[in-house]
Amino acid sequence: MQDKGISQAVIGRLPRYLRYLGDLKENGVERVSSQELSKLMSVTASQIRQDFNNFGGFGQQGYGYNVDYLYTEISKILGLDRQYNFVIIGAGNLGRALGNYLNFERRGFIFKGIFDKDPELEGREVRGVKIKNISELESFLKANNIDIAVLTIPKTGAVGLVDVLVSNGIRAIWNFAHVDLDVPEGVQVENVHLSDSLMKLSYNISRYEGSKN
């Protein structure tokens, strides 16, 4: 396929391109050169051209890229030209925060259900979706076409859930649990380990302090 062998590093940069192109669109900009994009995003123009060449270059002609076209093509590459249904498992603050985040909806990620083991939370609503007991998860997955499970529960619970999710058709797990999940081939996992990110921050703080001594 077209993007065979494209590194996750390149893929990881596409959402950022999309963000800047979205801003340009909002500002009514119709064409942008790699030099302009380079200034905006503070990456080199050659980096941008290299990244884009992975996908055929997006036909830069005359003066720069067509912003609309570029935005649409990158959206397609990122699989944003379709809808994904997701459920959230864990209705704590983080789970509710993600359920309430409307931008996901705009991108085609549709919030279908939220589950928790705490009976206290049952029936409360997150953006119009009632919190269900975790015991209803399996039957819910069988009855609905859910693509993505978002895990916002402690690591012990997360590991035990993977089999239920995978055997009921979940194709991707967005994992906020502080553990690496072991999934069969073909099931995608994207980890958001918040503590890891915070540790990188403390590393960079102390390294900078150190470099001053």
The whole-angstrom separation of Cα 174 and Cα 85 is: 12
Please select the residue that binds its own copies; options are 1, 28, 102, 120, rule is CB under 8 A.
1
CB of 125 to its own copies, least distance (A): 13
Give me 213's structure tokens. Answer: 């001594």
Q: Would you say 127 and 144 are in contact if contact means Cβ atoms under 8 Å apart?
A: no
Show the tokens assigned to 184.
Answer: 């069969």
Tell which one of 29, 80, 166, 183 touches its own copies (CB under 8 A): 80
How far separated are the first and last CA of the chain, in Å rounded?
Answer: 52
Tell me whether residue 65 or residue 111 sits nearer to its own copies (CB atom): 111
The Cα–Cα gap between 136 and 126 comes to: 17
Which of 21, 89, 98, 141: binder of its own copies (CB under 8 A)? 98
159 forms part of the interface with its own copies (CB under 8 A): no
Nearest Cα to Cα of residue 148 among 93, 92, 102, 104: 104
Tracing tokens 């119009």 back to the chain, one arrives at: 128
Question: What is the per-residue binding string for its own copies in 22-61, x denoting contact by CB under 8 A?
Answer: -------------------x--------------------
Q: Which of 7, 27, 61, 202 binds its own copies (CB under 8 A)?
A: 202
Angle, helices 45-53 vs 8-26, to 10°: value is 110
d(CA 41, CA 43): 6
CA 146 to chain centre: 16
Scanning residues 100 to 139, which ones bind its own copies (CB under 8 A)?
100-101, 103-104, 107-109
Residue 59 is which amino acid? Answer: G
| Near its own copies by CB under 8 A: residue from 36, 55, 72, 77 | 77
Nearest Cα to Cα of residue 42 among 11, 20, 23? 20
Selected range binding its own copies among 51-59, 64-72, 80-88, 110-118, rule: CB under 8 A: 80-88
Among 30, 105, 163, 190, the residue binding its own copies under the rule CB under 8 A is 190
Stretch that binds its own copies, among 44-52, 55-63, 99-107, 159-167 (CB under 8 A): 99-107
- The contact set with its own copies (CB under 8 A) reads 1, 3-4, 8, 11-12, 14-16, 18-19, 41, 77-80, 82, 84, 92-94, 96-98, 100-101, 103-104, 107-109, 147-148, 171-172, 174, 178-180, 186, 188, 190, 192-208, 210-211, 213
